[in-house]
Chains A and B, each alone.
Chain A
C-alpha cells in the first residue's frame, strides 16, 4: 500500500523533471527544429510519466489515465510533425550548426524537373 504510493509519486516526480528539462531545452536550443526535438518530446514523456504515476497511486483511476496516455501518444507526434512540415515549407531557417538539409535539395530537384 505505502510502497505503491511511494513508487507512484516518484514516477510523477521523474515526469516533472523531464517536463522541466524539456522546457529548458525550449529556451536553450538555437532553432525551431531543435526546440521541437527537446521541447515537445520531453514534455510528452514527462506528461505521460506524471499521469502514469497518478494512475499508480490511485488504481481506480487507471482506466482514465490509460486513455489519456494513449491519446497523448497518438496525437502529439502528429501535431509536431505537422508544425515542422509547415515551418519548413514556410522557410523558417535552420541554425548555423546544421550540417545538411536533404529536404531542401529534394524540393529544389522537383521544381527543376517541373520546368
Chain B
C-alpha cells in the first residue's frame, strides 16, 4: 500500500517537473557554438558529407571506442550466462519449408552486400558501422531460421571480431603518430567531398566497426539459439 502511494507521488512529481520544463523552455533559434563549428568545418576538416558520422568517428571517437567496448562486454556476459548450462542437444525444432530455405540462400549474399553498402557509405548517407553490423547479423539470423541446427563457424566469427577490434585500435594509434591525435582520420588523403574514397580513414574505421558489431551480434544470436529448451 505504502509502496503504491510512493510510486504515485514519485510519478506525479516527475510529471510536474517535466510539464513545467515544457512550459518554460524556449526552442533554439540557432545552433550553439560547438555544433555550429562542427557543421561548418566538417566538410573542410574531416571531408565527410555526413556530419553525424564525423562527430561519432572523429570528433567524439573516444565515445565510440567505449561504445564498442560496452557491446563487447555485453556479448561476453551473454555468452557467460548461457554457456554454463550447456547440455546435450535435445531440441527438435520443426523444419522449415523449401520456400524459406531457398529464399534464404538467394537473399543471404544480397543482405550481406547491403550491410557492407551501409557501412562503407557511412560518411555519405545515413547509416554506418552499427546499422550495417545489425543488417549483417540479420543475414546470419535468416541462416539460423532456415536451418536451426546449422553448424556455425564459431572460430571464424571470433577471428573476425578480434582482428577488426585490434585493427580499429591500431588505426587510432596510427592517427596519433601520423596525424594530430588518437583516431584522427587525416593521415589518409581526404579526397573529394561526396565520393566513396573520401573522408580519410572514416570508411576504413566504420567498416572495421561494422564487421566487429556484425560478428558480435551474430555471436549473441547463435548463443541464444544453442541453449536448450527449459520447461
The answer to whether A and B touch in the complex, with CB atoms under 8 Å apart, is: yes
Q: A82 contacts which chain B residues (CB < 8 A)?
A: 96-97, 99-100
CB of A85 closer than 8 Å to a CB of B = yes
**What is the size category of the interface that chain A forms with chain B?**
under 10
| Contact between chains at B100 and A78 (CB < 8 Å) | yes
Q: Which of B94, B99, B106, B107 contacts A81 (CB 8 A)?
A: B99
Cα(A74)–Cα(B107), bound, Å: 8
Q: A89 contacts which chain B residues (CB < 8 A)?
A: 94
CB of A115 closer than 8 Å to a CB of B = no
Q: A78 contacts which chain B residues (CB < 8 A)?
A: 99-100, 103
| Contact between chains at A85 and B107 (CB < 8 Å) | no
Q: What 1/0 flags go to B94-114 for Cβ under 8 Å of A?
A: 101101100100110000000
Q: What's the least CB distance linking A87 to chain B, in Å?
A: 13
CB of A75 closer than 8 Å to a CB of B = yes
Q: What 1/0 flags go to B63-103 for Cβ under 8 Å of A?
A: 00000000000000000000000000000001011011001
Cα(A82)–Cα(B94), bound, Å: 12
Q: A85 contacts which chain B residues (CB < 8 A)?
A: 97
Q: Which of B94, B97, B107 contacts A75 (CB 8 A)?
A: B107
Cα(A78)–Cα(B99), bound, Å: 7
Interface of chain B residues 177 through 214 with chain A (CB within 8 A): none
Q: B103 contacts which chain A residues (CB < 8 A)?
A: 74-75, 78
Q: B100 contacts which chain A residues (CB < 8 A)?
A: 78, 81-82
Q: In this complex, which of A74, A75, A78 has the most chain B Cβ atoms within 10 angstroms of its Cβ?
A: A78
Q: Which chain B residue lies CB-closest to A86?
A: B94
Q: What 1/0 flags go to A86-111 for Cβ under 8 Å of B?
A: 00010000000000000000000000
Cα(A85)–Cα(B106), bound, Å: 21
Q: What's the least CB distance linking A52 to chain B, in Å?
A: 20
Cα(A82)–Cα(B99), bound, Å: 9
Q: B107 contacts which chain A residues (CB < 8 A)?
A: 74-75
Cα(A75)–Cα(B142), bound, Å: 12
Cα(A85)–Cα(B96), bound, Å: 10
Nearest first, the 7 A-B pairs at minimum CB distance are A78-B103, A81-B99, A82-B100, A85-B97, A78-B100, A78-B99, A74-B107
- What residues of chain A have their CB less than 8 Å away from a CB belonging to chain B? 74-75, 78, 81-82, 85, 89
**Interchain residue pairs with CB less than 8 A apart (17):** A74-B103, A74-B106, A74-B107, A75-B103, A75-B107, A78-B99, A78-B100, A78-B103, A81-B97, A81-B99, A81-B100, A82-B96, A82-B97, A82-B99, A82-B100, A85-B97, A89-B94
